[in-house]
Amino acid sequence: MNLKYSVFLLIALLFSATAFGQQAALEKTLPKTVKIYGVGGLAGFDDAQSGILISDSGHILTVTGSVLDEDPITCTLNNGQKFTAKLVGINPKLSIAVLKIDAQTPDYFDLSAAPVPVTVGSPVLAVTNLYSVATGNEPMSVQHGVISAITPLEARRGAFVAGYKGNVYLIDAITNNPGAPGGALVDYNGAFLGLIGKQLKSTTQSIYINFAMPQSTLSSAVQDILDKKIQKAENQNEIAKPADAWTPAKLGFQLTSDVLPLTPAYVDSVLANSPAAIAGLKPDDFIVMVNGNIVKDVKALKSALELIDVADPVELFILRNDDFQSIRITN
């Protein structure tokens, strides 16, 4: 056997082994993926994205965005089954959301498992529904590449600035296309590495970046969502409004006029020396969550306050000058 033939044979064997590894990884990964569809909010916004199953009882991890803004949210599993999903909760800083469908889902990614070591140069597969090419039981799209860098996220999209500044995996597969955010980044063994992030541009180079949020960052944030939201959802029918509940006026701030459907909960003014002022709330703050519950608009914020007794503290999660902050207001 001459040297040239030996080299050719070695390359062929390596290629076959790589292809076999990728196929085995996909057989593990695809049953854990979800295609997500929504109304897309305002005209022209994205109406589809990707997601992954994270429990055997129908919990789905994805990214926040216009797809989740309005009901119904439709989730299609790898086998083509369609379900209407409910929003369990979000983490606005990480721009992730957890959904729930009424189904048993034995194939899922266990985020509590020990993270797989990842280094620059590690080969990866990005499994997403980019461009919404899969609508039924068709498999998601697969792109192969490598981890090109592990670096802090500094990115934005229009006026939205990513609140998370921790490390992400930059990858050399093009994943910033519509439909791809929320997909799975896995290794050649099918082990989960991270969640494909939203379509964002680098703030330093003004180019779209392809990145994934590491499992180590996601696991505790997802558990926080599940612990807070599921507990409240299960006890929802038992909750009675307190006799003396908080209102924006009692807290000492006024919201923007609620003249349109889904008016965002922006603070218009803050009364001097009020509980809100003492806690540090300021005009133009955008209130995202109240005591761990997402508030989509002014009406939702007021409804959330109606369930909090004035003797109890109010935890506001706000967006101020492109930075997320937590504010605790007490009487």
| Domain range list for the chain | 28-231, 240-329
User: Which amino acid is it at 266?
Assistant: Y
Q: What's domain 240-329's superfamily in CATH?
A: PDZ domain (2.30.42.10)
CATH architecture of structural domain 28-231: Beta Barrel (2.40)
Q: What is the predicted pLDDT for the residue at 185?
A: 96
Helix (H, G, I), strand (E, B) or coil at 325: strand
Output the CA torsion sign for 223, 226, 229, 235.
negative
Give the pLDDT score at 38.
87
Residue given tokens 């994934």 in the structure block: 212
pLDDT for res 186:
95
Q: List, as one string, the DSSP characters of 246-278.
A: --HHHHTEEEPP--STT---BEEEE-TTSHHHH
Distance CA 87, CA 70 (A): 10
Res 232: pLDDT: 40
Q: Which of 100, 57, 97, 106 is nearest to 78 (CA)?
A: 106
Decide: 52 and 184 in contact? Cβ < 8 Å: yes
- Amino acid sitting at position 308: I
Per-residue pLDDT of the chain (331 residues; tens, 9 = 90+): 454 544 444 444 444 445 555 778 888 999 999 999 987 655 456 789 999 999 999 999 999 887 887 788 999 999 999 999 999 988 888 889 999 999 999 999 999 999 999 999 999 999 999 988 888 888 899 998 999 999 888 766 654 566 677 899 999 988 888 899 999 999 999 999 999 998 877 766 667 889 999 999 999 999 988 887 444 433 444 456 788 899 999 999 999 877 666 788 899 999 999 999 999 999 999 998 888 778 888 888 998 898 888 888 999 999 888 788 889 998 8
Where residue 158 falls (left for φ over 0; alpha for ψ -120 to 50; beta otherwise) is left
